Amino acid sequence: MQTIPNAAYALVLIPLVLWRVVSRVKRLTSRQRSRVWRHRTTLVFFPLLVVVLGVMAVKTNPAALAGLAAGLALGAVLGRTSIAKARLEHEGGQFYFTPHGPTGLVIAALFLGRMAWRGYVLATKTAQAQPDFVSSPLTLLIFGILAGYYIMFALGLLAWRKRSSFVPVTAQ
């Protein structure tokens, strides 16, 4: 049975990854319509992924769990800061937000840089010499920053939506 070389995988995956990267960076820096279902999905998806990676880290390298925890804390601070600096708008019954661009760009650059490094390591090492993804404290630190940021930002958006949709009734 003949195997497909890594270069063939790269030719297929690189354009797909670049497309997703551009769309993700765009979402971190441009005006968007606030959709409650999307914020709630973030609050389910990221914590679930954190738990899965945490369980895997305990089995491979328990020290990597410290990186994940530190990243979550730092990401939560960045998310809180970013939601405070975000532009939140309510127009014509619709909710819009523009994330704080510099914070989003820094987080995207950290994550993309680490993934590029991991891709390089995977492409240049043999299958036996490839380190496990969740055994790296640095990788989990950076993922924790990303997850903490998205979780805190989604919580902030939901809180804003709840405050903005409440219109007090005045006595007449």
pTM: 0.80
Q: What percent of the chain has pLDDT over 90?
A: 44
Yes or no: say if 99 and 149 are a contact pair by the CB < 8 Å rule: no
Question: What pLDDT, on the 0 to 100 scale, is given for residue 126?
Answer: 61
Domain definitions of the chain by residue range = 34-161
Output 3 or 56, whichever has higher pLDDT. Answer: 56
Distances (CA, A) of 39 to 28, 60, 100, 107, 171: 14, 32, 17, 18, 34
pLDDT digits (tens, 9 = 90+) for 89-128: 988 888 999 999 889 888 888 988 888 887 777 777 765 5
DSSP state of 154: H
pLDDT band for 159, please (50, 70, 90 cuts).
Answer: very high
Mean pLDDT, the chain, whole residue set? 83
